[in-house]
Structure 1
Amino acid sequence: MNILSVNIRGMGSKDNADWLRGIKESLGVSVLALQETQFKDLSEFNISMYWGNSSFGSDFVEADGRLGGILCMWDESVFQCTSTNVVMKRNLWESIETVKNNTPGWWVILGDFNSVRFRNERKNSKFNPTSDNNLNNFIFSADVREYSMRGRCFTCYTKKGNKQSKINRILLCNDFFSKWPEACLRALPRLHSDHSPLLLTVVNKCYGPKPFRVFDSWFDREGFKEEVSKAIESFNGEGLPDVLCSKLKHIRGIIKKWRDKTIFKEKEKKKTLQNEMEDLDMIAESIDLNEQELWVYTECKKELEEIGMLANLKQRSRIR
C-alpha cells in the first residue's frame, strides 16, 4: 500500500494527469491526494485520467475561484470513505482533530498545510511563528506523527528555485507506525508542479514485464517508418502455416529492436537533463543559484518540453 500526495496547481493539463498516473501505476499507489485542483465543479471532468482504468473511490472539495480545491482518490479494495465536511469549517485543523477523536479507525492526514513546523523548513521565505506553532500544536493534540522525509529537504519551490519550504506533509496515527515501522516517505522529483509529490511506501511490489504497445508518437519518430518498411520487405513467409501471424510477429520483432534503441537514447538524454535539474535543486537548498545556474535550469526544462521526451506518456496505444 502506497500513498501519494501532490500540489497539482490546476487539473486541466493532460501532461499532469499522465505524469501522476504514471507514478501511481508504476509505484502501486493506493491513495492519490491532489491539492489546488482549481476546479469548482468536477461533475463533468474525467478524473479517471489521473487514476487509470481500475476502480476507485473519490471525494473532492471545490475551489474558491482559482484558489484551492482538493481531490482525493483511493483504491476501494484497500480503503473505505467516511464522508465529512470538516475541510469546510473555519478552523480546519481543530475540526479535523475533533472528527478524528470522535471517529474510530486508522488516520492518514495529508496535503499542503501551507505552514512549516520549524524555522529550518523554510529558505528565503518568511517564517511565521504563530502559524507554525499552531501546526505543531495540532500535531501534538491530534496524536499524529510523520516519517522522516527522504530525497529532499523541501517540498515546495518557486519557479526560479530560490525559495523553498517544506509545507507538504503526510501525518499518520500511532497504529500506522506500529504496523509499518519501516515505511518510507520520499519526496519525488517535480516535473509539472512547483511541489514535489510525496510517496509513502509500506510494501514493495513487482509488476513484471510491461506489455508491448505501439504508440501514436512513434509514427513521427525518425527511422520508424523506414524500419517498418524494411521489416515488411525482409519477411519471407514461404512454407509457414500462418503467414499473417508470422508476418506480424516478424514486424513486431523489428519494431521492438527500433523501440529499445530509440528509447534508450531518449532516456539517456532525458536522464541527463533531469539529473542536471535535480543537482541544481539540491544546490538551491543550501545556497542561492547564480544567474548562470538559473539559466541552465530554465534551458534544461525548456529542452525537455521542446524535444518531446514525454510524448509517449501522452499517447494512447494504437496496437495492443
Structure 2
Amino acid sequence: MTKVDLWILRQLWGNTHFDFASSSARGLSGGIISVRNNKVFIRANITCNDNYIVVDGFWAPGNVNIRWINIYAPQDLPSKLALWSSLSDLINSWDGITVLMGDFNEVRDACERYGSVFSDRQANFFNKFINEASLIDIPLGGYNFTWTDKWGSKMSKLDHFLAFENFFEYFPHSKGIVLEKGIPDHRPILLKESQVDYGPTPFRFFHSWLELEGFHDLVTHTWNNDGIAHTNGLVLFKKKLQNLKKAIRELVGSKKSESYALKKEHQKRLSTVDEKIDSGLETIIYQVHHFSFIKGPISFFRMMG
C-alpha cells in the first residue's frame, strides 16, 4: 500500500462517517490500514510502525477507553522477538482495554500448521509473549486455518484476536469467526459481540420489482379484490395500500428465497471444496468456478457500534 484512495475507502465503508490510519508498504511487506466509525469510536491518538498501527480512543457505546493494535508481523525470528517486546510495552503503558488483531505470522501449536515445518521454538516465544502480557487468545469458530497457499497444500492459523484479560468484562458475548476465504490467501477474521436488533425493516419500493414475473397481475388483483370497505375515503385508501404492501412483501420475499436458494447451492459447492482443503483432504491443482451473481468477499477491518 503506497497511497490510500479515499474513494475506495468510502465505497468499502458505505458512508463518510469513518476515520483511518495507514502504514505504507516497505519492500515485499504489505501495508496496514485501520478504519473505524468516527461516531462510535472517538480517536485520541495514532501510532504507526512498520508492523503495526495503534489507535487509542474512547468507545462510546461501552463508555470505555480502548487501544486497538492492528498487526502485520514479520517472518524472521529476530524481528518477531523485537515486535513481541514492543507490543508488551504498548500493553503495559495503557490503562484500559487492549485488543491486538491481524496477521501475527506465527502459530501457537503444531495443530495450527499443515503442510509446512512447525517450529516449536518460535511457537514457545509467541506463547510466552501472550502469557506474560496477560492476553487471551479469543477462540475462532469456523475454519481451522486462516492462511492457505494457492494450491491448498500449506495452511496455517496465522491470524488472531488477542485481548487483554479485562476485555470480557465489557464485551462478555464476544466471539471470533473465521470467514470464507474467497480470492485472497488469508481468510478474513471477524470479532463480533451480540447482534443488535434495529426493529422492523421499513418498506421501500425498488424499481427492479416492476420486472418481477407476476408483479403487475398481483398489484391489479390485490387492489381490486381485497374486500376492504370504509365510509372514509382516506381511511379506505390507507387500508388498501397496507394490504397491497403486505402482498408485495410476500411476492418479493418468495422471489428472494428462490434466488437465495440458488446462490446457496453454488456457494455450498465452493465451500465443500474449501472445507476439503482446510481439513487437508484434498489438494487442488487448478480449478475455476465462475458465478457472475456471487460477489467475492473483501478483506476489510471495520469497527461498528
TM-score bracket relative to the smaller structure: 0.5 to 0.7
TM-aligned CA deviation for residue 228 of structure 1: 4.7
CA–CA distance in structure 1, aligned partners of residues 115 and 151 of structure 2: 12
CA–CA distance in structure 1, aligned partners of residues 34 and 97 of structure 2: 17
SS in 1 for 2:261: helix
CA contact (8 A) 1:228 1:254 kept: no
**2:36 pairs with 58, 66, 74, which one?**
74
Distance 1:115 1:242, change over 3 A: same
CA–CA distance in structure 2, aligned partners of residues 243 and 254 of structure 1: 17
Q: Which amino acid aligns with 1:114?
A: N
SS in 2 for 1:83: strand
State the superposition RMSD in angstroms: 3.8
**2:46 pairs with 73, 77, 83, which one?**
83
CA–CA distance in structure 1, aligned partners of residues 240 and 147 of structure 2: 52
Distance 1:159 1:252, change over 3 A: farther
TM-score by length of 1: 0.65
TM-aligned CA deviation for residue 241 of structure 1: 5.4
**2:12 pairs with 46, 50, 64, which one?**
50
TM-aligned CA deviation for residue 47 of structure 1: 1.3
Distance 1:242 1:53, change over 3 A: farther
The 5-angstrom pairing of residues 143-154 of structure 1 reads 143-154=134-145
The 5-angstrom pairing of residues 118-157 of structure 1 reads 118-157=109-148
* Max Rg structure: 2
TM-aligned CA deviation for residue 268 of structure 1: 1.1
Q: Which residue number corresponds to residue 224 of structure 1?
A: 211
Distance 1:175 1:43, change over 3 A: same
Q: Which amino acid aligns with 2:264?
A: K
SS in 2 for 1:47: helix
**1:274 pairs with 264, 267, 272, which one?**
267
Distance 1:206 1:115, change over 3 A: same
TM-aligned CA deviation for residue 257 of structure 1: 4.1
CA–CA distance in structure 1, aligned partners of residues 171 and 240 of structure 2: 51
Q: Which amino acid aligns with 1:84?
A: T
CA contact (8 A) 1:147 1:184 kept: yes
CA–CA distance in structure 2, aligned partners of residues 231 and 191 of structure 1: 39
SS in 2 for 1:195: coil
TM-aligned CA deviation for residue 172 of structure 1: 0.5
Q: Does 1:265 align with 2:258?
A: yes
Q: Which amino acid aligns with 1:41?
A: K
The structure with the largest strand share of the pair is 2
CA–CA distance in structure 1, aligned partners of residues 128 and 37 of structure 2: 31
Distance 1:242 1:179, change over 3 A: closer
**1:201 pairs with 189, 192, 198, which one?**
192
Q: Which residue number corresponds to residue 6 of structure 1?
A: none
Q: Which amino acid aligns with 2:12?
A: Y
TM-score by length of 2: 0.68
SS in 1 for 2:100: strand
CA–CA distance in structure 2, aligned partners of residues 245 and 275 of structure 1: 44
Distance 1:61 1:171, change over 3 A: same
CA contact (8 A) 1:155 1:164 kept: yes
TM-aligned CA deviation for residue 88 of structure 1: 5.4
The 5-angstrom pairing of residues 1-320 of structure 1 reads 39-42=1-4, 44-53=6-15, 55-64=17-26, 67-81=29-43, 82-87=45-50, 91-180=82-171, 183-213=174-204, 218=208, 224=211, 227-230=214-217, 256-289=249-282, 298=287, 301-302=289-290, 305-306=291-292, 308-310=293-295
CA contact (8 A) 1:86 1:96 kept: no
Distance 1:157 1:211, change over 3 A: farther
CA contact (8 A) 1:86 1:99 kept: no
Ranges in structure 2 where 5+ consecutive residues have no aligned partner? 53-78, 226-230, 297-305
Percent of pairs with identical residues: 26
Structure with the greater relative contact order (CA < 8 A, sep ≥ 6): 1 or 2? Answer: 1
Ranges in structure 1 where 5+ consecutive residues have no aligned partner? 1-38, 312-320
CA contact (8 A) 2:145 2:156 kept: yes
TM-aligned CA deviation for residue 249 of structure 1: 7.4
TM-aligned CA deviation for residue 275 of structure 1: 2.8
Q: How many positions carry a matched residue from both structures?
A: 261
In terms of mean alpha carbon deviation, does 81-90 or 154-163 score higher? 81-90
